[in-house]
Amino acid sequence: MIEEKVLVQKFLNRKERERLRKPDWLKIKLGDPRNQNAVLDLIEGLNLHTVCQEAKCPNLFECWTDKTATFMLGGDTCTRHCGFCAVNKGKPMALDPLEPTHVAEAVKHLDLKHAVITSVNRDDLPDGGSMHWAETILKVREMNPDCKVEVLIPDFNGDEDALNNVLEARPEVLNHNTETIARLYRRVRPDAKYDQTLELLERAGHYRDTKFPEMLTKSGIMAGLGEEFEEVVDLMRDLRRVSCDIMTIGQYLQPYEKRLPVERYVTPEEFAEWKRIGEAMGFKHVQSSPLTRSSYHAREQAS
């Protein structure tokens, strides 16, 4: 009887794996290892971290072949416990005072025309690390005057002053990801609040409209975590309501076993339909495909 139950469970497990077998459209090309190694050597030599590595991005090989990377500030340990994220959780180390300069040097070495910078959450710091953010933006611009700066920021626990520290450094693109629909926040982003995310984007939009019209606001989500098609459309409406300019939609991929499982693989046709709907709503750009990530083709999104 016990052996029979084991066999049944093995069968069910196999059927579940087959149901969620990764489709062909998620296959990636590895690219030129020489360029990838050059980027890795630069990152390690300057004691930097990238979200490409820490978040196990499926586009790493393509982007690093093109000698582009998304720099991650504040170390490699996050104070939050998001269910989807591969980044280390726990108590972070002190900020590296040389990090802003090192990021600027890396941007210069790679000859980037559009630099993307993100960070771990640093809830342990009074300002959430926002002044460190501002210093990095200013240093990148000082050493690379022709390079546009895109930032993918945390929510700073809703601290408007912290957000203003970043905005006053005037990044060309201010991105804060919604990550998922409101209904799934408690499971996917237990330390965040959906309304607080929208409020941050609305404040950024107000700053753009009143002080820096050249700036674009941006947000993105992962699909495949249990949302319905129409729930994503509702989220798009919420983002347009707070005047968000750019939206990204990509397939969630489980980074390792203890993270949230993939509920389904969304088809390319559905991603294409979200793109069509979003553009009809008035987004300046919608990047929507299985392999889309926040910083994937970021320069083209902001052009």
Letter string b/e over residues 24-41, b meaning 16 or more CB atoms within 10 A of that residue's CB: eeeeeeebeeebbebbbe
Q: Are strands 246-251 and 285-288 parallel, antiparallel or unpaired?
A: parallel
SS3 percent helix, strand, coil of the chain, rounded to 5, is: 45, 15, 40
Tell me the mean pLDDT in the region 79-105: 88
Q: What is the pLDDT of residue 256?
A: 74
Tell me the mean pLDDT in the region 22-50: 64
Is 6 part of any domain?
A: no
Is 12 part of any domain?
A: no
Q: Which of 5-9, 17-21, 119-123 has the lowest mean pLDDT?
A: 5-9
Rounded to an integer, what distance in angstroms lies between the CA atom of residue 37 and that of residue 124?
Answer: 34
Is 51 part of any domain?
A: yes
| pLDDT tens readout for residues 238-274 | 999 999 999 999 999 887 777 899 999 999 999 999 9
The pLDDT of residue 12 is above 70:
no
What total number of domains does the chain contain? 1
Which residue type is seen at 190?
P
> How many Cα neighbours within 13 Å face the side chain of 32?
9
Is 20 part of any domain?
A: no
Is 207 part of any domain?
A: yes
Q: What is the CATH number of the domain that holds 247?
A: 3.20.20.70
Q: What is the pLDDT of residue 23?
A: 84
Is 14 part of any domain?
A: no
Query: What are residue 13's phi and psi, to 5 degrees?
Result: -65, -40
* Structural domain for 235, as ranges: 28-301
Rounded to an integer, what distance in angstroms lies between the CA atom of residue 237 and that of residue 251?
Answer: 20
Q: Are strands 148-152 and 173-175 parallel, antiparallel or unpaired?
A: parallel
Is 137 part of any domain?
A: yes
Name the average pLDDT for the chain.
Answer: 84
Please say whether the beta carbons of 153 and 174 come within 8 A. Answer: yes
